[in-house]
């Protein structure tokens, strides 16, 4: 069964360092997302990406964050200068609302297993 | 501001019983409401989606209702099993491609 894969599974970094989290969405999906979940808290939307550009972003997604789809398969989230409060689990998701591969047109999100970021 | 409340942080039931989880929302008129399952340290897994013009949706032992007047969704798991123990998340969206806003989740424990 197709799945979203994320690397690394866990990254520890020093405050102020740059971090890149990588995701390979499900092939032929059209929409890509990043969500984060601080330990013990709810899943929060960061950004959505469609047709090689950001379609929507939250207040959390400030100038320190950026996303890129450098080739036909990878989707990355970069945090330019990490802060302590960036420590969280970051989930990549993709969806296929026009039906395509799944032909269900439900807009369901397919999540990866997450990348745990620890900022010291 | 938009608010989503999932009643009961934790719900404990006996195997074989029906679990009923609640999702209430305010200051929101979602077009779609989704339910996800999340196991500890794992990503959410999609279970069911219901649209604003649908009253009820079923999938195997799962049933979701959506009352846009009450601004509430109920999620039922019938004939519950210990393997159903997990955190269940409700998520609302305005479109089928836009952001989803998640509730805090309800942790269900099914005891044998």
Nearest Cα to Cα of residue B92 among B79, B84, B80, B101 = B101
Closest CA–CA distance from residue B105 to any residue of chain A (Å): 7
Which of A28-37, A89-98, B41-50, B84-93 has the lowest average pLDDT?
A89-98
| Residue A48 at interface with chain B, using a CB cutoff of 8 Å | yes
Please name every residue paired with B63 in a beta bridge, in sequence order, or none if there are none: B58, B76
User: Can you point out the beta strands (E) in chain A?
Assistant: 5-7, 10-13, 19-24, 31-37, 43-50, 53-57, 65-68, 75-79, 88-95, 110-111, 115-119
- Residue-wise pLDDT for A25-78, tens only, equals 998 888 999 999 999 999 999 999 998 999 999 999 999 999 999 887 899 999
The pLDDT of residue A108: 87
| Residue A94 at interface with chain B, using a CB cutoff of 8 Å | no
The pLDDT of residue B80: 97
CB contact under 8 A, A108 and B105: no
Nearest Cα to Cα of residue B51 among A104, A119, A100 = A104
Instruction: Tell me the C-alpha to C-alpha distance, in Å, between residue A21 and each of A28, A68, A90, B23, B75.
Output: 21, 11, 8, 32, 34
Quote the tokens at residue A7: 């690397």
Cα A23 to Cα A6: distance, rounded to the nearest angstrom: 4
Nearest-CA residue of chain A relative to B96?
Answer: A107
Cα A102 to Cα A92: distance, rounded to the nearest angstrom: 19
- Residue-wise pLDDT for B11-35, tens only, equals 999 999 999 999 999 988 888 899 9
Nearest-CA residue of chain A relative to B100?
Answer: A45
- Nearest CB to A109; choose among B42, B46, B105: B46
pLDDT value at A11 more than 70: yes
Phi, psi values for residue A116, rounded to 5°: -85, 120
DSSP B83: G
pLDDT value at B95 more than 80: no
Phi, psi values for residue B72, rounded to 5°: -150, 145
- Nearest CB to A108; choose among B43, B46, B89: B46
Closest CA–CA distance from residue A15 to any residue of chain B (Å): 23
- Nearest CB to A97; choose among B45, B96, B105: B96
| Residue B105 at interface with chain A, using a CB cutoff of 8 Å | yes
Nearest-CA residue of chain A relative to B39?
Answer: A113
- Nearest CB to B101; choose among A45, A93, A110: A45
């Amino acid at each position: 069964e197709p799945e979203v894969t994320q690397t690394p599974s866990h990254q520890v970094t020093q405050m102020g360092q740059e971090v890149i989290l990588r995701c390979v969405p499900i092939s032929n999906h059209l929409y890509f997302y990043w969500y984060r979940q601080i330990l013990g808290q709810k899943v929060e939307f960061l950004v959505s990406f469609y047709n090689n550009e950001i379609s929507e972003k939250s207040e959390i997604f400030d100038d320190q964050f950026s996303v890129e789809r450098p080739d036909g398969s990878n989707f990355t989230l970069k945090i330019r200068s990490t802060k302590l409060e960036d420590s969280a689990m970051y989930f990549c998701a993709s969806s296929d609302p026009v039906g395509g591969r799944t032909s269900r047109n439900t807009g369901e999100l397919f999540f990866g297993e997450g990348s745990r970021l620890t900022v010291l | 501001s938009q608010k989503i409340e999932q009643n009961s942080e934790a719900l404990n039931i006996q195997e074989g019983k029906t679990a009923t989880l609640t999702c209430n929302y305010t200051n929101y008129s979602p077009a779609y409401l989704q339910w996800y399952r999340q196991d500890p340290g794992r990503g959410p897994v999609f279970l069911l989606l219901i649209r604003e013009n649908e009253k009820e949706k079923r999938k195997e032992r799962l049933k979701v209702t959506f009352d846009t007047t009450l601004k509430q969704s109920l999620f039922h798991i019938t004939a519950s099993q210990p393997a159903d123990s997990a955190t269940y998340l409700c998520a609302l969206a305005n479109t089928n491609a836009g952001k989803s806003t998640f509730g805090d989740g309800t942790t269900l424990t099914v005891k044998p």
